[in-house]
Amino acid sequence: MREVEYRSHGVPLEEYELTRRDHRRQKESEEIGRAARRMADEDAEKCRADPARAERRRQALEKVAELMSTFEKHDYEIMRWRVRLYCGHIVETQMHCSYSDPVTGGALPRRCSECGAKGLTIVAYEPIGPLGERPQPQPAQPQPQKRPTRAQLERRVAALEEENKRLRTKGSP
């Protein structure tokens, strides 16, 4: 796995003054959320009108769920982050360790566990560390040498005698 340099933005535990960018990102996030809900409602309406479409959608979602369940996640691959949400509260979140920060990692607007507000963006963050320790690689055990069989030894001896004979005849004047 490639080495990632984790970034911080603001310091969640210190006082934080919301910026114009924070307000703009929160507004954009809310607009995207409303548009996504509209699209989901339209699709649900189409599925209610067309049972075949609803069945195809259900099958596609089952395939996605099955595929996602096959992914093996190890604790050492999960990075913990301390984040300040738009509401001002500080919570902990987790992302795959391949992302340098929780925003580019696709951290979706979330519900605050303290005030219950929904759809909040992350305005400040800092890495805490991996969820678990990476296991130490075990030294490779040397494979025990298999003893050759009598037939293999006899073939090897015959081949060496042939080569010896060939070299002697080649070297004589």
Please give the chain's pLDDT, 173 residues, in tens.
568 888 888 877 788 889 999 999 999 988 988 999 999 999 999 989 999 999 999 999 999 999 888 888 888 888 999 999 999 999 998 888 889 998 887 666 678 888 988 889 899 999 999 988 888 888 877 777 788 889 989 999 999 999 998 888 876 65
Q: Which runs of E-coded beta strand occur in 111-154?
A: 122-130
Q: In the prediction, which pLDDT does 135 show? A: 81
Ordered by start, the domain boundaries in the chain are 20-33+73-130
**20-49 and 51-70 helices, crossing angle to 10°:** 130
Number of neighbouring beta carbons within 10 Å of residue 11: 13
